[in-house]
A and B are shown apart, each in its own frame.
Chain A
């Protein structure tokens, strides 16, 4: 092959066809500056078209939004899980004041009974002073406690799977004035609220994802509208379909990774910023409030992982759409016959 090739080259060189050769120059005259070769070979797929810059911006924005909704859903689901766990770990025993006045004895008995039930980690009476503090916002600082039959409270921490029903039964039988509040009503409400929020979040996430995918598909096809000429030339000079498809797929994958990467990075940056504000140490009540607000917005690892997945999936959709469009264009070229 190389031999044939060089023989061909020799024969070509031996033919002198005076096609607009460089003009003869006077002696001493400098050769005119010739255009230099580009530093890098130009890519087969033409870069930098207006439609592609628009696609880049759109992909960045859409993936930013998608990452935010992934983070929002991950926050809500994490919080809902935490609440449920915290509340499920705690029940309260209420002891109504005894008519004979010895409420302390009743409280002690209730604590004893509670600690005998398997699965109970601790049972700690809330002191009258603490109870008063809890009531302070409603009753003021200087009310006379003896005037009001305030029940005494015992905070009980339980292990998962503890027999709450047995605790309730035994209290009922052995401590006349005691009753168990297992927060079950509150739990049920909270749990259904958390479920609703999760479903809502997932629905929003799904919508955002579908919208992103559709936008990206149509924008990619738009960005490829001008590619028909290039694809046609590549096809007619004998490029294999797989080569053309691969070139376009790679080009758009890079574009997608860039665009979605920018969106994802912006999202991750804003997650980090909320995290920093939440950890910001300050002593004024405003700062404490800010901390609480942002603390509930801290994005955990699932949020970051979700953002990464969003970026990869978005870039993947773009690459696949580009490939599909090229393949379809090539098919059309082959079937344009009469």
Chain B
């Protein structure tokens, strides 16, 4: 178990640039406590997605210190990257469901790639699918799912391994307000079960519904509203 005083993620003066371009993030410092709930917000192009990509090691900082579960992102051993990633659940803005797999198979994928037997996770997956309201869509392919259903399938896939931290990139960007509210409740419930939640969003209405810490990005700089 994680020591509550220890942070899951720590940024210290992190800077990020793509190639030779300008710095997208500048001197970003913050940390994420276990079991915490926060929004990362800011206008489009402010660097929310880039920040999330740093969080799950898809990008490395150009400068500064980034620690994930106590490991330095700059020096983490290559054979440790994947096991670290498995402690993080990620919901992509564009879902990234595999078109040739059923909803069940997409959600079960993180377990399947570990070589786990289907019989050992079948119940967990169907329960999780029921929980996100996709029980009846278990055996259909992503092509026939609506945007909101894809969103929930992507969330379920991020949750199936019960990660210590969940990252969601604009999870309400493609859904109508009532569904957005329900998804938010789902994240809140998940947070109550002990998972740290980071939601990147530019939807002010969403943040007004549930008050939580806000990490506000503006022109690469970070301001924190606790």
Contacts and interface: CB of A to CB of B under 8 A. Distances in A.
Contact of A46 (B98, B115, B131, B132): B98
Pick the most buried of A12, A234, A240: most chain B CB atoms within 10 A of its CB: A12
A42 B101 contact: yes
21 contacts: A12-B128, A18-B182, A19-B186, A22-B136, A34-B139, A35-B137, A36-B139, A42-B100, A44-B109, A46-B99, A47-B100, A230-B98, A233-B109, A236-B90, A237-B157, A239-B114, A244-B113, A336-B58, A337-B59, A338-B24, A338-B59
Nearest to B121: A5
Contacts, number: 112
Interface of B: 16-19, 24, 56, 58-60, 62, 78, 81-83, 85-86, 90, 92, 96, 98-102, 104-105, 109-110, 112-115, 118, 123-124, 127-128, 131-133, 136-140, 152, 157, 161-162, 182, 185-186, 189, 193
A338 B109 contact: no
Contact of A17 (B19, B56, B83, B189): B189
Contacts of A11: 193
B86 A238 contact: yes
Interface string A3-33: 0010011011101011111100000000000
Contact of B58 (A12, A35, A236, A238): A236
A19 B132 contact: yes
B102 A38 contact: yes
A173 interface: no
A17 B159 CA distance: 16
B162 A21 contact: no
Nearest to A22: B136
Contacts of A19: 132-133, 152, 182, 186
| Interface residue SS majority, chain A | loop
A98 to B, nearest CB: 92
A203 B29 CA distance: 66
A1 to B, nearest CB: 10
Interface residues of A, number: 42
A77 B118 CA distance: 55
B104 A239 contact: no
A22 B136 CA distance: 8
A22 B137 CA distance: 11
Given A9-B123, A236-B96, 7 more contacts: A9-B124, A17-B182, A44-B113, A233-B96, A236-B85, A240-B113, A338-B18
Interface in A230-261: 230, 232-241, 243-244
Contact of A336 (B59, B157, B185): B59
A35 B182 CA distance: 25
B200 to A, nearest CB: 16
A229 interface: yes
A42 to B, nearest CB: 5
A233 B127 CA distance: 23
